[in-house]
Structure 1
Amino acid sequence: MAYVIVTKALKKMGQDIDIARRKRKISMEDLAQRAGISRTTLSRLLKGDDGVAIGSLAGVLNVLGELEKIMNVIDVSLDDTGMLLDKERLPKRVLSEKSKAKQKKSDKIDPKGIAF
Structure 2
Amino acid sequence: MLGKLIRVARAKRGPTAQELADRAGISRTTLSSIEKGAPGPEIGIVFEVASLVGVRLFNYDERTLEMHNARLDEKLTLLPKSVRHAVREVDDAF
With normalisation by structure 2, the TM-score equals 0.60
2:53 aligned residue? 64
Secondary structure of the residue that 2:31 maps to in structure 1?
helix
Percent identity over the alignment is 35
Judged with a 3 Å threshold, the aligned counterparts in structure 2 of structure 1 residues 65 and 15 are, in CA distance, closer, same or farther, namely closer
2:33 aligned residue? 44
One-letter code aligned to 1:31: L
1:33 aligned residue? 22
1:82 aligned residue? 72
Unaligned stretches of 5+ residues in structure 1:
1-11, 108-115
Unaligned stretches of 5+ residues in structure 2:
59-64
After TM superposition, the runs of 4+ consecutive aligned structure 1 residues lying more than 4 A away are: none
Q: Do the aligned residues in 2 keep the contact of 1:35 with 1:62 (CA within 8 Å)?
A: no
Give RMSD over aligned pairs. 3.5
One-letter code aligned to 2:46: L
Specify which of 66, 81, 85 is matched with residue 92 of structure 1.
Answer: 81
Aligned residues: 84
Inter-partner Cα distance in structure 2 for 1:83 and 1:62: 24
1:20 aligned residue? 9
Q: Do the aligned residues in 1 keep the contact of 2:17 with 2:31 (CA within 8 Å)?
A: yes
